[in-house]
Structure 1
Amino acid sequence: MRWSQLNFRRRLLIIMTMSGLLELFVLSGAGFSYIKKWESTDLGEKAIGIAEYIAQTPEIIQAVELQDTKVLREGVERFRIAIGAAFIVVGDHQGVRLAHPIAERIGKPMRGGDNNKALKYGQSYISYAKGSMGHSVRGKTAIFDAQGNIIGVVSVGYLLTGIHDKLLPFLMFLIVMAIIVVIANGLLASMLAKRFQRALLGFEPEEISRLYAEQAAIMATIREGIVCIDNRGYLRAINRSACAMLGVDKASAIDKPIQQSLPDSRLERLLSTQQAEHDVELFLNGKEVVANREPLFQADKQIGAVASFRLKNEITELNLQLSKVTEYAELLRAQTHEHRNKLNTIAGLIQLGAYDDVCQFIGQESLHYQSLIGFLRDAITEPLIAGLLLGKSERARELGMTLVIDEGCHLERLPPHIAAEDIVTIVGNLIDNAFDATLSAKHTNGQVHIHISDYGQDIIIEVEDRGVGIPVGENADLWLQRGVSSKKKSNHGVGLYLVSQLMKKYGGQLEMENSATNVPLASEQVATGARFTLYLPKSEPSDACNTQV
């Protein structure tokens, strides 16, 4: 099985076991060598001390002078047995043995080749050499007569094999301890591997590497800006889109407090509140963004926070485009439905043979459309807005209501800074809200009035319904916030919000009042119907800050 096919637990177990074995063998070998050397040195010091004592003994000196091998052998042999030395050898000035533990070797030259320092220079020293009894550590010293002449040499030695035998139990102890430590190390490695894998959520190193690469690729391709901090408020991750949007240098911002690169983010606030925030409007490095922010938790412990955001103008543009597409689709649907009903009516009249009624019906419809189209062509110069009013008129008829377009409507070409699509969004949303309000009040006459004019310095758009009015006592600005609606169904509260955004974009003003009694919203008097009047200056706002929310 290849190494990459082993799981993390087995890899860690093998690595820790092998490293433990290697460390123990190195330490055991070093310890054994050190103790062996220390023991050899200690025995050498002991041997040289004994040799000097023997060399200074008068009986030994006299026996060497007389070449009395019997006295020398008996004297040093008793001493050798008493101190446990491997051998004590006494030689004359030529290095010929006068005393030796083995009697047959007396009279023969001393072996080892390490007598020169003693016989020539009269030194005392420790040597390691191989003699007739094997490798040994020796203490050597010269024997002097009364006149100070060198007359012989004493060599006291301990065999190195004896040292090995003495250290063998210690070596066995080291081996046993090494085995015990390896077993303990293996158990510890297994427990650590389990704990690490729990911390890594059971992933293998290669899987973590792949996930990291995938995350980096995903972060790089997401259009939304993404920012992540740790529990200290330090920036841990920021993707390419966020850097481009906010002008942040990733290399200098990572692993530093987020306040340095994004001082207005307030993302670190989530570390204390631990509450998610959605659709939060912020200014980051001079850019207005809409952010969603979530605290990060691991095993019920907060480890940081993450935020995703888009530039607000991009979101507004998407909402406007969606609103425009919805308006066009609704217009087509209403016209298709209305024309299908009329075609069914014509088909029925033809089958009944009522040809005169068919002609009259076609004439009436043609007259109605021609009259409405002619009026809109003369009053509303902008085609998109005229088409919208024509479509909403058909939609009102389909809903059983009437869209009353004021005869005083007048709208020339829009100023260059005002987009026709924005006016379509404003008018379409106000009319749709009026339709919904009128339908909710079944006792009314089912009329919605609209007036558009560009006389004077402002473009005035006024839409009036015959619904139940806006609830009294409420703050009027509340109805302009996203998601606030009087409708019980979900996915509402967007129309007036878009109108409000476009109003602020062009520096306009929106007035809301209950129309039947023509009293302000704060009045306690019950009113039916509501009137929305929007004023958009024809001149372009001089202060760009007026376009910000």
Structure 2
Amino acid sequence: MRKWSLASRLLIGQLAFILCLSAGLSWALYVQAEQHSYEETADRMLSVAETIAADPFVLESVTGENPSAALQPYAAEVMGSAHVDFLTIMAPDRTRFTHRNESEIGRQYIGSVDQALDGTSFTEVYTGTLGPSVRAMVPVLDSRGEVRALVAAGLTVDRVAIARDAELPGLFIIATAALAWGTLASLLLTRYLRRTTQDRRPDELAGVFAFHDAALHSLREGLLLINNDGELVLRNDQAAELLGLPDGAAEGPTDFRGLGLPEPLAELLRSGRTAVDEFHFTKDRILVINQSPAVAAGAAGAGRGRKTGEPRRLGTVTTLRDHTEVEALTGQLQSMRTLTDALQAQAHEHANRLHTVVSLIELDRPAEALEFATRDLEQSQQLADDVVSAVGEPALAALLAGKRAQARERGIDLELVLQPEPEDGTGSALLDSGELVTIVGNLVDNAMDAVQGLPDPHITVHLAVVDDGGRPGFRLCVQDSGPGVPAEARQRIFEQGFSTKASLPGTGRGFGLALVNQAVLRLGGTLQLDPTAESGGARFTVLLPLPEGAHR
């Protein structure tokens, strides 16, 4: 039996239960039928005895000189017409006036008479001269209420058993129908269990659930199971952490509308569509999401793994990978590439200027060569001093210097308005350098893309430490002279995947401002768009709070 599947064990158990239930039901019905037969016979005998006791002829006969001569023919006629086995009329002292066996007339009645002598009718099962019988005893009363005689009518138990046995075919039909329907229900249930459990044994199912639970909690990736109605039915702890789900969010079917997820991510999970390595943003994370349908066979045969139906969709399985750190490293790498490009541009420009100095010397114009080299050196040193004094964070200072050189290579006028940071150290160095590089780099890159190819392209970057309601804050403004943000796009400009650069499909657009917005939220700041700046174009303003009372 250990090798039997769960469905087989349940089938055997159910059949045994149904068999016992049918046997018990049959016995109960049999006992009920027997009791009913006895009660019905007792009532009929009581009716016969009461009818005889109420007949004036009986009262007149029992007070005559020879009661038996008058009553015995009368009793014989009643026994034949009423189909009773005996009808005994007797004196109060038990002396029989009538009996089926005439040799018993004049002898003592065998049975109880005390209640009848008290004037009360009763029924009983008693063994007399004809054997066990169901009998009724009724007193014969005169006009003064005195007991003048007793009437006993009865039917032998054998005759009662015949009436009881007549009901047995109906009982057999009921028991057989209950057994048949119970067996059919068990077979149907077993078939369903074989299909749903794939005819596995209980220990196999326990192992599957144990491994399922262990795998669910050991995965470093987030895992979500979603039904066909777009409701979350199961998740692991990693998924709850990545999505910021409240405790108990997956104890039952849960609608994503109430979980506070970004709309693009919630829409993906609700839709159930297939997704491969899609990037989605939450408040403080970048997630890579894969989603595929969960299907099962529409029907399974009795044998394990034999499928006879079309695949049936049960829902979707979604995996989540945290890509935040990877994107941070990618941003730092992009910053390094920016600096590399800037250094290459500076090297190229420096080579041209050095070639100019050499040419002036070859032309025997050393004074002009010295003046040109001195002026170029002063300009470069002034830019470096301004950036370093205004931006205390080295990575941000290097990024701005690189963006300045890159803009010059692209023919864009990049103006840096840098307010020197406070000497007490409450400046940009207190903020996360990686987040600052992400914010500034993406905003400046978007601005350069917006003005590229326009006449007199101009970008202004303003950085300052300001007083934000009594608390120091770091403010960054990036203003460009481009066409600005269209009115229909202003509500969606910070959404993941949305871009105003529709002419560049398939280039991964729509992530820059989403990354900026996410980084600003992580730092507890605000990001605002002013599309109607006085100089035209768009202006993005970032305000980041600085730790109060902190010093470098």
Which interval holds the TM-score relative to the shorter structure? 0.5 to 0.7
Contact 1:506 1:536 in 2 (8 A): no
CA-atom RMSD in angstroms: 4.6
Identity of counterpart residues, as a percentage? 19
User: May I ask how many residue pairs the two structures share in their alignment?
Assistant: 392
User: What is the CA distance between 1:207 and its match in structure 2?
Assistant: 2.8
Contact 2:331 2:437 in 1 (8 A): no
Per-residue deviation, residues 158-186 of structure 1 (Å, max 9, x unmatched): 23343223222432443355346534543
Instruction: Please state if 1:168 is matched with 2:165.
Output: yes
Contact 2:463 2:475 in 1 (8 A): no
Per-residue deviation, residues 303-323 of structure 1 (Å, max 9, x unmatched): 3233222333133257689x8
Matched AA of 2:111: G
Per-residue deviation, residues 272-308 of structure 1 (Å, max 9, x unmatched): 7552123333344654433222333344444323322
Q: Distance in 2 between matches of 1:11 and 1:49?
A: 57
Aligned to 1:547: 519
2:134 is matched with which residue: 133, 137, 145?
A: 137
Instruction: Write out aligned runs for 1:195-206 (5 A).
Output: 195-206=192-203
Contact 1:508 1:537 in 2 (8 A): no
Aligned to 1:24: 22
Aligned to 1:211: 208
Contact 2:7 2:199 in 1 (8 A): no
Q: Distance in 1 between matches of 2:394 and 2:67?
A: 135
Matched AA of 2:223: I
CA gap of 1:156–1:269, structure 2 versus 1, over 3 A, is: farther
Instruction: Write out aligned runs for 1:102-121 (5 A).
Output: 102-113=101-112, 115-120=113-118
User: What is the CA distance between 1:230 and its match in structure 2?
Assistant: 1.7
For 1:167, what is the secondary structure of its paired residue? Answer: helix
User: What is the CA distance between 1:201 and its match in structure 2?
Assistant: 3.6
Aligned to 1:305: 316
Relative contact order, higher structure (CA 8 A, sep 6+): 2
User: What is the CA distance between 1:454 and its match in structure 2?
Assistant: 5.0
User: What is the CA distance between 1:141 and its match in structure 2?
Assistant: 1.0
Q: Distance in 2 between matches of 1:416 and 1:262?
A: 37
For 1:100, what is the secondary structure of its paired residue? Answer: coil
Q: Distance in 2 between matches of 1:547 and 1:112?
A: 107
Unaligned runs of 5+ in 2: 299-310, 352-376, 411-433, 456-460, 466-472, 477-515, 522-552
Q: Distance in 1 between matches of 2:462 and 2:443?
A: 4
Per-residue deviation, residues 42-64 of structure 1 (Å, max 9, x unmatched): 22222111111111223322332
Matched AA of 2:38: S
User: What is the CA distance between 1:234 and its match in structure 2?
Assistant: 2.8
Aligned to 2:530: none
User: What is the CA distance between 1:216 and its match in structure 2?
Assistant: 1.6
Aligned to 2:187: 190
For 2:248, what is the secondary structure of its paired residue? Answer: helix
User: What is the CA distance between 1:153 and its match in structure 2?
Assistant: 0.9
Aligned to 1:234: 231
Matched AA of 1:238: R
* TM-score with structure 2 setting the length: 0.58
Contact 2:138 2:151 in 1 (8 A): yes
Per-residue deviation, residues 494-541 of structure 1 (Å, max 9, x unmatched): xxxxx9996547556348999xxxx96799xxxxxxxxxxx9999997
* TM-score with structure 1 setting the length: 0.58
2:259 is matched with which residue: 246, 261, 264?
A: 261
Q: Distance in 2 between matches of 1:224 and 1:178?
A: 58
User: What is the CA distance between 1:143 and its match in structure 2?
Assistant: 0.9
Q: Distance in 1 between matches of 2:475 and 2:98?
A: 123
Instruction: Write out aligned runs for 1:329-368 (5 A).
Output: none
CA gap of 1:107–1:285, structure 2 versus 1, over 3 A, is: farther
Unaligned runs of 5+ in 1: 325-383, 394-402, 424-452, 470-498, 524-534
Per-residue deviation, residues 204-249 of structure 1 (Å, max 9, x unmatched): 4443332222222111111222222222333211111122334433
Matched AA of 2:97: L
Q: Distance in 2 between matches of 1:249 and 1:210?
A: 30
User: What is the CA distance between 1:85 and its match in structure 2?
Assistant: 1.4
Instruction: Write out aligned runs for 1:89-100 (5 A).
Output: 89-100=88-99
